[in-house]
């Protein structure tokens, strides 16, 4: 395992000097150890690996050896995102399984090398995916550190997808890696994922559908922004800020202060979503917004439409971040007596509130066929595509649907929202069972009970809908250390 020591050496170099330029990286791909490590890392996908082993007469080690040789000789080609076709015959399916296996292993090898270079530079509150801490960790950081902010700067998302220029990703990587063969391999991967010429499209809402290397490269792309924010907000000791009077008189005031400490500026990011919080006058927020806009304009070199950035008063509006509406209620005035029994009033900071984006979610569940929009309201309906399944499979499906929703929105401070969606899923599940058995909703509840308890067919094995009756605010909490898919997909 000598080559794994090389990875440790790379990590140490990056830790000592974040701007260290790494050379001769590609030679790592010619050693079996790193391929075996990649295989162990994706071993959780047992079904895929078992299919490859069963449907190929060659041993696993021989398959890895052939793949390693193909990649090192630069003959390997990644699966294109356009080549996913329905397969009928076993022979074609056998070939496709092997292609998927090769693609997964090769991507993991690239990720291992990039991780050794970039991991020491990534921050948990900014590169949560790469640091394996989860999106709830970022939300937890915001809850604890954004209470005192007045203004929030965040990108305006007109579409679900962020457009990223693959050539910019390559240029960013080339700042740390000087190895033409390794760069060509990453270019091959990005080209296979490109949908529109050189551009790739990414959305946090669909993050579970992307491979880990793809997500890692998104973090690398935004690392440049993280680095810029660090230098601009933390290390800057002087800055040109436009005061309100100067804006009208078209004069510039020079304020010699440390921005981060004086203005209490906070920053957090998870994959392609980021927020900057400012605790000061709006003109400071305007200056930072303009500076950030200029940064993205220079980064993209106007290769596509520039990113649009918004400023919001967190006490008067809400900010959509990682599938949550975040807002801050007005500070409360409290009174207390001092030693001389004189009443002293002071402002008490309120806690940040995290709400479910109800309208957005309802729209998505209507599209998926769980709900229906009427003239006056939205009501649950039968999910017709599930009617052909066994009863216990239907209940299991709705349990999974609710579990994903409940886990992701466990930090919601408006518990009635969760109760509302729980009710919709519960009734939709009953109506789907009723549709299958040609019974009314009332008759289904009479037959299976309020929690829809179903016999699975096995001895003493039953399944029921996860019926919940308690919605206390005390249950509100973040599930740290895990990455969840946002249920808006």
Number of domains observed in the structure of the chain: 3
Query: Of 90, 121, 152, which marks where a domain is finished?
Result: 121
How sure is the predictor about 305, in pLDDT bands with cuts at 50, 70 and 90?
A: low
pTM above 0.85, yes or no: no
Task: Write out pLDDT tens, residues 320-373.
Answer: 998 999 998 765 555 555 556 666 554 556 788 999 999 999 999 999 999 999
- In a shared domain, residues 296 and 420: no
How sure is the predictor about 153, in pLDDT bands with cuts at 50, 70 and 90?
A: very high
The Cα 222–Cα 450 span in angstroms is 48
Query: Of 272, 293, 320, which marks where a domain is finished?
Result: 320
Contact 120, 15 (CB under 8 A): yes
**Which tokens sit at 212?**
């880990």
Determine, yes or no, domain membership for 168. no
Residue that the structure tokens 């390794």 belong to: 182
The Cα 210–Cα 39 span in angstroms is 19
Determine, yes or no, domain membership for 117. yes
- In a shared domain, residues 150 and 100: no
pLDDT reading at 429 higher than 60? yes
- In a shared domain, residues 404 and 445: yes
- In a shared domain, residues 117 and 139: no
Q: 310 has which bridge partners?
A: 154
Domain that holds residue 32: 2-121
Determine, yes or no, domain membership for 485. no
Determine, yes or no, domain membership for 341. no
Determine, yes or no, domain membership for 343. no
- In a shared domain, residues 154 and 292: yes
Query: Hey, which of 153-162, 180-189, 452-461 has the most confident mean pLDDT?
Result: 180-189
Query: Of 97, 121, 145, which marks where a domain is finished?
Result: 121
Instruction: Output the CA torsion sign for 409, 414, 415, 418.
Output: negative
Stretch (H or E) spanning 163: strand 162-165
- In whole angstroms, how far apart are CA 5 and each of 110, 116, 178? 16, 11, 20
pLDDT reading at 38 higher than 80? yes
Contact 430, 445 (CB under 8 A): yes
Tell which residue, 488, 192, 204, 452, has the closest CA to residue 364: 488
- In a shared domain, residues 108 and 157: no
Q: Please state, for a pLDDT cut of 70, what percent of the chain lies above it.
A: 76
pLDDT of residue 486: 80
pLDDT of residue 462: 87
Determine, yes or no, domain membership for 331. no
Over range 126-135, report the average pLDDT: 66
Query: Between these two residues, 282 and 243, which has the higher pLDDT value?
Result: 282
- In a shared domain, residues 96 and 54: yes
Sequence-distant (≥ 6) Cβ neighbours of residue 229 within 8 angstroms: 267, 276
Instruction: Output the CA torsion sign for 136, 276, 311, 300.
Output: negative
pLDDT of residue 127: 60
The Cα 118–Cα 388 span in angstroms is 49
- In a shared domain, residues 275 and 147: yes
Task: Write out pLDDT tens, residues 58-110.
Answer: 577 888 889 999 999 999 988 765 444 433 444 444 555 778 888 889 999 99
Query: Hey, which of 6-20, 242-256, 276-290, 395-409 has the most confident mean pLDDT?
Result: 395-409
Determine, yes or no, domain membership for 249. yes
- In a shared domain, residues 151 and 267: yes
- In a shared domain, residues 116 and 208: no
Q: Give the dihedral of Cα atoms 93, 94, 96, 102; nearest 10 deg.
A: 160
How many residues comprise the chain? 489
Residue that the structure tokens 């699975």 belong to: 456
User: Given the DSSP bridges, would you call strands 266-270 and 371-373 parallel, antiparallel or unpaired?
Assistant: unpaired
User: Given the DSSP bridges, would you call strands 239-241 and 199-202 parallel, antiparallel or unpaired?
Assistant: unpaired
- In a shared domain, residues 150 and 82: no
Q: Give the dihedral of Cα atoms 215, 218, 220, 221; nearest 10 deg.
A: 170
pLDDT reading at 205 higher than 70? no
Determine, yes or no, domain membership for 146. yes
- In a shared domain, residues 18 and 91: yes
């Amino acid at each position: 395992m000598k080559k794994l020591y090389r990875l440790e050496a790379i990590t140490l170099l990056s830790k000592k000097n974040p701007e260290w330029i790494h050379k001769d990286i590609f030679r790592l791909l010619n050693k079996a150890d790193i391929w075996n490590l990649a295989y162990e890392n994706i071993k959780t996908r047992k079904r895929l690996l078992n299919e490859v082993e069963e449907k190929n007469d060659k041993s696993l080690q021989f398959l890895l050896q052939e793949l390693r040789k193909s990649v090192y000789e630069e003959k390997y080609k990644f699966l294109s995102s356009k080549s996913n076709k329905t397969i009928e015959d076993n022979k074609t399916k056998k070939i496709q399984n092997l292609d998927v296996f090769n693609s997964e292993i090769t991507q993991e090898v690239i990720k291992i090398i990039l991780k050794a270079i970039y991991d020491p530079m990534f921050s948990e509150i900014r590169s949560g995916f790469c640091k394996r801490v989860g999106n709830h960790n970022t939300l937890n950081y915001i809850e604890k550190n954004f209470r005192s902010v007045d203004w929030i700067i965040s990108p305006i998302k007109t579409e679900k997808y962020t457009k990223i220029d693959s050539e910019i990703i390559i240029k960013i990587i080339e700042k740390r890696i000087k190895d033409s063969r390794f760069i060509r391999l990453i270019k091959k991967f990005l080209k296979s994922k490109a949908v529109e010429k050189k551009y790739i499209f990414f959305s946090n809402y669909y993050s579970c559908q992307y491979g880990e290397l793809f997500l890692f490269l998104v973090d690398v792309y935004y690392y440049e922004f993280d680095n810029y924010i660090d230098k601009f907000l933390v290390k800057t000791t002087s800055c040109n800020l436009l005061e309100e009077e100067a804006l009208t008189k078209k004069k510039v005031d020079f304020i010699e202060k440390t921005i981060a400490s004086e203005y209490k500026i906070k920053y957090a990011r998870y994959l392609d979503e980021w927020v900057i919080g400012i605790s000061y006058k709006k003109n400071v927020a305007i200056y930072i917004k303009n500076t950030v806009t200029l940064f993205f304009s220079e980064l993209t070199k106007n290769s596509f439409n520039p990113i649009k950035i918004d400023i919001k008063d967190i006490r008067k509006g809400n900010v959509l971040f990682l599938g949550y509406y975040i807002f801050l209620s007005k500070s409360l005035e409290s009174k207390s007596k001092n030693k001389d029994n004189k009443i002293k009033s002071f402002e008490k900071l309120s806690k940040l509130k995290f709400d479910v984006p109800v309208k957005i979610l309802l729209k998505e569940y209507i599209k998926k066929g769980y709900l229906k929009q009427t003239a006056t309201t939205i009501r649950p309906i039968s999910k017709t595509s599930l009617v052909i399944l066994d009863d216990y499979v239907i209940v299991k499906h709705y349990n999974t649907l609710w579990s994903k929703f409940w886990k992701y929105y466990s930090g919601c401070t408006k518990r009635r929202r969760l109760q509302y969606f729980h009710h919709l899923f519960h009734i939709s599940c009953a109506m789907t069972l009723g549709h299958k058995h040609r019974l009314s909703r009332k008759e289904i509840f009479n037959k299976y009970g309020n929690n829809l308890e179903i016999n699975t067919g096995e001895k003493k094995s039953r399944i029921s809908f996860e019926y919940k009756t308690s919605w206390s605010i005390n249950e509100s909490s973040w599930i740290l250390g895990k990455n969840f898919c946002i249920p808006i997909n």
